[in-house]
Homo-oligomer: A and B are copies of this chain.
Amino acid sequence: MQQSATAQVEDIVQYMQTLGQQARAASAALRRVDSGRKNAALEAIVTRLDAARPMLALANQQDLQQGRDNGLSEALLDRLALTPERIDAMISGVRQVAALADPIGQIEGLGYRPSGIQVGQMRVPLGVIGIIYESRPNVTVEAASLCLKSSNACILRGGSESAASNAAIAECIRLGLEDAGLPATAVQVVATTDRAAVGALITMPQFVDVIVPRGGKSLISRVASEATVPVIKHLDGICHVYIDAAADLGKAVAIADNAKTQRYSPCNTMETLLVHVDIAAQVLPRLAAIYREKGVEMRGCSRTQEWIGDAVAASEADWTTEYLAPILAIRVVDDFDQAVDHINAYGSQHTDAIVTENLTLARRFLVEVDSSSVIINASTRFADGFEYGLGAEIGISTNKLHARGPVGLEGLTTRKYVVFGDGHVRG
């Protein structure tokens, strides 16, 4: 009963198109569902998850066992594990999404025009959202809740390492949707781990309105280069802190420390520190002592090495590398302009901060740095949906079109023009 590889790919494409058609139909149904019903469905999902704890643990054990057999690293196994505390966190995450204000249906700017018609813009769901993610199974619930709350149908494709856990979570979501009388196809988890499923998902614009990849750079670049559906994404977080000559020394040290060392792996962690030459003597030795203490490897330009003797010489590649690790590139710059030029040339338009007491330069930094978050006198680590008050985050976008920066519920919506008349015609 062996099939040829081509026939298998055709089967998968066929399967994904079925999911797509079902999602499109569910999306039309979701447009009519009111806030109360959506919240009831989220509460029903909570109840189902809570009741399924033994089943979730069992499924997760299966993934962990297989992960161990396949030689997954301890770090990956840890990300995969669904501990009771993580199930608690999943449940409280769904409740937080239920508690958010419903963006759908809000009409902005409704006003009369000289012709007598009344025009405004109504916030509406995007339609169908495809989400592609890697090992952490809690993303299944997070993504499903945000899509449901914003009245979008979604198709979720998790990593093969967490297939059993994702399937068990998917079953809870399906039952919760049915409990609340919503179509179970509002949230569909792709049942195959074949990579052809991803290829199909990102190339069916007739069924999918936007793709959100969550994972490593290789996953995201593959999705971005092959997709014919729009992608909300960021590839790199090469974030900078620039310590200006007019910086307050205490603030500069606190921010440059926090931005690098509070956590090493997030995308909003600083990867390059820029220091004005006039303040280098004061700030670099103090910071070097902190980084040294915390085990951060420093890679500096030649002027940096004058103040930090144990800094390794930075190469050109260091200015464009997202370490996601206790490594920091450091460059001493001549002036404000050189700092801004460096950020715009080598950065990834993600998040960049200046430390300065100079109002004029702070105002210029806001305007001249072309990044999704531009920060004055605070740590880059604040660039996050929760910290910005979005209530939740589906990801961070360095796209310029549509959502830019941390993406919450609003990024999963669009607006349409609504026009009211009383028989008005155009003259």
Chain A residues with a Cβ under 8 A of chain B: 28, 31-32, 105, 111, 113, 115, 117, 119, 121-122, 124, 126-127, 209-210, 230, 248, 250-251, 254-255, 257-259, 262, 344, 353, 355, 364, 366-368, 370-379, 381-383, 387-389, 399-402, 404-406, 414-426
B414 and A400 contact, CB distance less than 8 A: yes
A31-B368 in contact given A251-B422, A388-B113 (Cβ < 8 Å): yes
Write 5 A-B pairs (CB below 8 A) sorted by A numbering. Answer: A209-B401, A230-B230, A374-B417, A376-B420, A379-B426
Q: How far is the CA of A127 from the CA of B368 in the complex (A)?
A: 12
B31 and A421 contact, CB distance less than 8 A: no
Q: How far is the CA of A367 from the CA of B418 in the complex (A)?
A: 10
User: Pick the contact of A424 from B378, B405, B418, B424 — CB < 8 Å?
Assistant: B378
Q: Which residues of B contact A258 (CB under 8 A)?
A: 425-426
User: Pick the contact of A251 from B254, B401, B423 — CB < 8 Å?
Assistant: B423
Q: How far is the CA of A374 from the CA of B414 in the complex (A)?
A: 14
Q: Which residues of B contact A377 (CB under 8 A)?
A: 420-424
14 more A-B contacts (CB under 8 A) besides A28-B368, A382-B424? A119-B388, A119-B389, A210-B400, A254-B423, A255-B424, A257-B425, A353-B419, A373-B416, A373-B418, A374-B418, A375-B420, A378-B420, A405-B415, A405-B416
CB distance from A396 to the nearest CB of B (A): 10
B401 and A230 contact, CB distance less than 8 A: yes
Chain B CB count within 10 A is highest, among A121, A372, A405, A419, for: A419
Residue ID in chain B nearest A119 by CB atoms: B388
CB distance from A178 to the nearest CB of B (A): 23
Q: How far is the CA of A402 from the CA of B210 in the complex (A)?
A: 12
User: Pick the contact of A117 from B115, B122, B387 — CB < 8 Å?
Assistant: B387
B417 and A373 contact, CB distance less than 8 A: yes
Q: Which residues of B contact A422 (CB under 8 A)?
A: 251, 377-378
Nearest 7 CB-CB pairs, A to B? A378-B421, A251-B423, A258-B425, A401-B402, A381-B426, A378-B424, A375-B419
B388 and A115 contact, CB distance less than 8 A: no
Chain B CB count within 10 A is highest, among A370, A374, A417, for: A417
Q: How far is the CA of A344 from the CA of B31 in the complex (A)?
A: 13
A378-B262 in contact given A28-B368, A400-B414 (Cβ < 8 Å): no
Q: Which residues of B contact A375 (CB under 8 A)?
A: 418-421
Copy number in the complex reads: 2
Q: Which residues of B contact A417 (CB under 8 A)?
A: 372-374, 383, 388, 404-406
Q: Which residues of B contact A251 (CB under 8 A)?
A: 422-423
CB distance from A98 to the nearest CB of B (A): 20
Q: How far is the CA of A248 from the CA of B423 in the complex (A)?
A: 9
Chain B CB count within 10 A is highest, among A32, A119, A371, A373, for: A119
Q: Which residues of B contact A122 (CB under 8 A)?
A: 366, 374
Q: How far is the CA of A28 from the CA of B122 in the complex (A)?
A: 34
CB distance from A296 to the nearest CB of B (A): 16
B425 and A250 contact, CB distance less than 8 A: no
Q: Which residues of B contact A426 (CB under 8 A)?
A: 258, 262, 379, 381-382, 387
A32 and B368 contact, CB distance less than 8 A: yes
Residue ID in chain B nearest A377 by CB atoms: B421
A425-B255 in contact given A376-B420, A378-B419, A416-B404 (Cβ < 8 Å): yes
Q: Which residues of B contact A423 (CB under 8 A)?
A: 248, 250-251, 254-255, 355, 377-378
Q: Which residues of B contact A254 (CB under 8 A)?
A: 423, 425
A366-B405 in contact given A258-B425, A379-B424 (Cβ < 8 Å): no
Residue ID in chain B nearest A247 by CB atoms: B423
Q: How far is the CA of A415 from the CA of B411 in the complex (A)?
A: 12
CB distance from A379 to the nearest CB of B (A): 5
B425 and A381 contact, CB distance less than 8 A: yes
B383 and A401 contact, CB distance less than 8 A: no
